[in-house]
Chains A and B, each alone.
Chain A
Amino acid sequence: MDVLTKLDILAGAAKFDVSCSSSGVARKNQGGTGNAKLFGICHTWSADGRCISLLKVLLSNDCVYDCCYCVSRRSNNIPRASFTSRELADLTLQFYRRNYIEGLFLSSAVEKSPDHTMEKIIQVLTLLRKEYEFHGYIHVKVIPGADPSLINRAGMLCDRMSVNIEQPTEHSLRLLAPQKSLPILYASMQQLKDQILLYKDDRRHFHRTPRFVPGGQSTQMIVGASQDNDLTILHTTQALYKNFGLKRVYFSAYVPVNQDSNLPALTSVPPLLREHRLYQSDWLLRFYHFKAEELVDANHANLETEIDPKSAWALRHPEYFPLEINRASYEELLRVPGIGTKSAWRIINQRRVVAISADQLKKLGVVFKRAQYFVTCKGIYPGNMPYNPAAIRRLMLPKPSFTQMSLF
Chain B
Amino acid sequence: MDYLYDGSFDGLLTCIYHHYYNETAAGIYQQEYYQPTLLLSSVAVCTDPTLAKRVYQAIEDKISANALVKVYHVYLSSSPDKEELILNYLRLGFKLGAKVDLYHSHSAVYPVHKLDRKVTAETHRFLGLLRFRDSGNFLYAALSPDHHILTLLADHFADRLAGERWVIHDQKRNLAIVYDGKGHCRDNSLLQFKWYLTNFSYHMQADLPPEESHWQLLWQHYFQRISIESRCNPRLQSHFVPQRYRRHLLEFQIPPLKQ
- Name A residues whose Cβ lies closer than 8 Å to a Cβ of B: 3-4, 7-8, 11-12, 14-16, 28-35, 37, 39, 41-53, 55-56, 91, 94-95, 97-100, 102, 136, 253, 255, 269-270, 272, 346, 349-350, 352-354, 356, 360, 363-364
Q: Residue on A with the closest CB to B132?
A: A98
Q: Residue on A with the closest CB to B215?
A: A94
Contact B128 A44 (CB under 8 A): yes
Cα separation A97 to B184 with both chains bound (whole Å): 15
Contact B129 A32 (CB under 8 A): no
**B 224-246 contacts with A by CB, 8 A:** 224-237, 239-241
Chain B residues within an 8 Å CB radius of A363 = 104-105, 110
Chain A residues within an 8 Å CB radius of B131 = 98-100
Chain A residues within an 8 Å CB radius of B197 = none
Contact B228 A350 (CB under 8 A): no
Q: Is B102 at the interface (CB under 8 A from chain A)?
A: yes
Contact A55 B222 (CB under 8 A): yes
Chain A residues within an 8 Å CB radius of B218 = 3-4, 7, 91, 95
Chain B residues within an 8 Å CB radius of A8 = 221, 225
Cα separation A7 to B124 with both chains bound (whole Å): 29
- Give the interface centre of B99, B157, B186, B230 by most chain A CB atoms within 10 Å: B230
Contact B141 A99 (CB under 8 A): yes
Chain B positions 138 through 175: 1 when the CB is less than 8 Å from some CB of chain A, otherwise 0: 01010000000000000001011111100000000000
Chain B residues within an 8 Å CB radius of A31 = 162, 184-186, 188
How many A-B contacts are there with CB distance less than 8 Å? 156
Contact B129 A349 (CB under 8 A): no
Contact A52 B223 (CB under 8 A): yes
Q: List 18 A-B contacts (CB under 8 A).
A: A11-B221, A11-B226, A14-B226, A15-B227, A31-B184, A37-B127, A46-B224, A48-B231, A48-B232, A49-B235, A49-B237, A49-B240, A95-B222, A98-B219, A100-B131, A136-B160, A255-B230, A270-B231
Chain A residues within an 8 Å CB radius of B104 = 346, 349-350, 360, 363-364
Q: Which of A46, A98, A270 contacts B226 (CB 8 A)?
A: A46
Contact A255 B231 (CB under 8 A): yes
Chain B residues within an 8 Å CB radius of A37 = 127
Cα separation A45 to B239 with both chains bound (whole Å): 10
Q: Nearest Cβ in chain A — how far from B20, in angstroms?
A: 24
Q: Residue on A with the closest CB to B111?
A: A363
Q: Is B134 at the interface (CB under 8 A from chain A)?
A: yes
Q: Nearest Cβ in chain A — how far from B155, in angstroms?
A: 11
Give 13 A-B pairs besides A12-B225, A45-B241, A51-B240 with Cβ atoms closer than 8 angstroms. A3-B218, A7-B218, A33-B162, A46-B237, A47-B232, A55-B222, A94-B215, A98-B131, A98-B215, A100-B131, A349-B102, A350-B102, A360-B105
